[in-house]
Amino acid sequence: MVKRSSINLADGRELIYFDESDDQVRATVDQRHLPPRPAPSQLRLDPLTQEWIAVADNRQGRPNLPPTSECPLCPSTPGHFTEIPADGYDVVVFENRFPSFSYATDNAAFGEVDGYPRTRPGVGRCEVVCFTPEHDSSFGSLSEARVGTVLDALTHRTAELSDLPGVEQVFCFENRGVEIGVTLHHPHGQVYAYPYVTPRTSLYLRAARQHQETTGRNLYADVLAAERATGERVIAENAYWTAFVPAAARWPYEIHIAPHRKVADLTELSDVERQAAASLWLGAVRALDGLFGQPMPYIAAWHQAPVRTDRELGYLHLQIFSIRRAPAKLKYLAGSESAMGAFVNDIAPEAAASALRASWQAVTPEAVVQAD
């Protein structure tokens, strides 16, 4: 059972400890003198795409790859006070000091301002999720029990953030590697509570709605069933989840991990389903790291249904993908991808699945791995 303890940091931001034992007492006070929290960002509507763009100039001041001695995510020490006041932790979540969305000031006016550009306040919330106090560790080095604690934390935050006024979608993710663009080396993830449904999710929902109107079935459920039936791109599975490379993967190495039961978001999983997810999540990250014998840059993204609309069309799944296509080569999003959104994948998904199966078996021999 995970114990939760909430405190406020020196500037009023919330921090929550998720402890794996109930004997922890979290009474440490944040001793820093911090400036006032920044005003919320401004959202501007792009009339050409009908997408909201957040203008958050406060983020220019965030740390950029500081040395270990100045890491803001390590536990505090007498000579170095950080974002975590305690001298140790299991998993901790706190409001981002440099958020893309926030409720930092009076946000009574939620409405849009007409004209050009159309604008609205960037209300919402951005949180940082620290997986471990060990600065030089990684997600793949965590124990399965710790990944379970991370999932408990993400589930709790999804439930809490979904209840905030104006929040339309909750997104849990990890960026890993300087190649991806991380600004802090310490192992951590993030949670974004968006004030709108994101463009990618809107595309998914549009396709899912059309499929349901045509067939009466859920689109992602049908994709998962087709992948499991052929088995060609399935990498690993257990009683509750399947990991596979999608047939139309955009990225050189891309893995979807999906539950066998349709749920809208993390809050709808049972305890046993969450634990089974921890096993495959950890296995996938370790398989990626083992692929070329070096740390793999990746993004791990939990796709959840919107908070208030179209929840019946959604299907919770984890997407993990890397831009590394060979030991010394990256997949750059150049003209076709960046300007046109038209992806070209350099590696056949079937070849990627075969390589990932072999790597997964090597790093996690006990896993149930689909045969070639």
Which residues are within 8 A (CB) of 96 and not within 5 positions of it... i.e. 6 or more apart? 126, 127, 128, 190
Which one of 188, 211, 303, 317 is the catalytic residue? 188
Among the listed residues 177, 183, 171, 174, the one whose alpha carbon sits nearest the alpha carbon of residue 331? 177
Tell me if residue 276 falls in helix, strand or coil: helix
Task: Establish whether 188 is a catalytic residue.
Answer: yes
Which residues are within 8 A (CB) of 220 and not within 5 positions of it... i.e. 6 or more apart? 204, 208, 258, 262, 314, 315, 317
Cβ neighbours of 127 (radius 10 Å): 25
Among the listed residues 17, 25, 20, 23, the one whose alpha carbon sits nearest the alpha carbon of residue 1? 20
Which residues are within 8 A (CB) of 236 and not within 5 positions of it... i.e. 6 or more apart? 242, 243, 280, 283, 284, 357, 360, 364, 367, 368, 369, 370
235 neighbors 357 (Cβ within 8 angstroms): yes
124 neighbors 133 (Cβ within 8 angstroms): no
Instruction: For residue 177, give the amino acid letter.
Output: G
> Interior CA angle at 276 toward 274 and 281, to 5°?
90
Instruction: For residue 50, give the amino acid letter.
Output: Q
Residues with catalytic function: 188
